[in-house]
Structures are given as C-alpha cells and as structure tokens.
C-alpha cells in the first residue's frame, strides 16, 4: 500500500531507487530538466537547457540528495527560510573561522621551522626552498 503524504514539504522516498534510475537516463532528460528548473526557479538566473547524464553511483547520490534538499527548502515558509538561511550563515561563519585558525596555525608552524633551520645553520636560500617563505620573511625571522 503506498504511503500518503502527510505534509507538502516531505515526499515518501520508498521508490527512491526507481526514481533515480528513471531520471538518470538519456530518455528522461526532458523530465529531469523540467524538475531541475522547477526546483531551482528561485535561484537560477537562466533556465538549465542541457544536462549530461554521468553514470556513477556517487554522483547520482550527490545530485539527487541536493535535488531533494532544494525541493524541501523551496517549500519552506518565509519564517522557516529565514531560520534556514540564518543557520547556514552561522555554519559558514564557523567553517571560515576554523579555516582561518588552521591557516594561521600552519603559518606559525612554518615560521617556527624556519627559525629552527636558521638556528641550526641552514642558509637563507635553503630555508626559502624548504618553507616557501619569501626572502624578506626569512631575513625578518633571522633578526628576531
């Protein structure tokens, strides 16, 4: 017995495999284009006019997960959409802060290695070659 939809936001994906199999074929290219353009209508500047069907399991899973996410998000109320965008901004800010911290930590580590190399008698050219620091950065470290 087929499942009934309890909310317009969520579709029963018990036929997920069949759905993916049907849309990921050259024969259903027009249907896939229609669905993509419909789901992405809010964010597209121009409609998608062509797709290339790639037969890899990972790619199909990634595309259809994104397609289902877009379909779900496109049915959000304004309040839900604002909450979602706020959460996404918070997530992005956190990810950027971590990436910046990682970058700064890596730069400090490279400078520490360069200082140690200079202390052990490596030439400026050798330090530059190994650490990829500029000549000015290495000279500044040797004076510090």
Check residues 114 and 21 and name the one with the higher pLDDT.
114
Give long-range contacts, CB 8 A cutoff, 24+ apart: 20-24: 20/60, 20/64, 23/64, 24/53, 24/55, 24/60
Check residues 97 and 40 and name the one with the higher pLDDT.
97
Residue 35, pLDDT score? 82
Is 22:28 a contact under the CB 8 Å cutoff? yes
Please report, rounded to a whole number, the percentage of residues in the chain having pLDDT higher than 90: 23
Give the mean pLDDT of the chain: 79
Residue 121, pLDDT score? 92
Can you tell me the distance from the alpha carbon of 26 to that of 136, in angstroms, rounded to the nearest whole number?
58
Flag whether pLDDT at 42 surpasses 50: yes
Flag whether pLDDT at 15 surpasses 60: no
- pLDDT tens column, 86-124: 998 998 898 888 889 888 998 899 999 999 999 999 999
């Amino acid at each position: 017995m087929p499942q009934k939809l309890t909310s317009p936001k969520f579709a029963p994906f018990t036929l997920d495999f069949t759905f993916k199999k049907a849309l990921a074929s050259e024969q259903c290219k027009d249907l896939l284009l229609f669905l993509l353009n419909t789901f992405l209508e809010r964010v597209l500047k121009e409609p998608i006019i062509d797709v290339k069907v790639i037969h890899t399991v990972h790619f199909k899973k990634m595309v259809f997960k994104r397609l289902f996410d877009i379909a779900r998000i496109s049915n959000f109320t304004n309040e839900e959409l604002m909450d979602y965008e706020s959460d996404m901004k918070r997530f992005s800010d956190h990810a950027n802060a971590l990436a910046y911290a990682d970058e700064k930590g890596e730069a400090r580590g490279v400078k520490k290695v360069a200082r140690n190399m200079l202390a052990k008698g490596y030439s400026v050219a050798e330090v530059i070659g190994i650490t990829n620091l500029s000549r000015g950065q290495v000279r500044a470290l040797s004076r510090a």
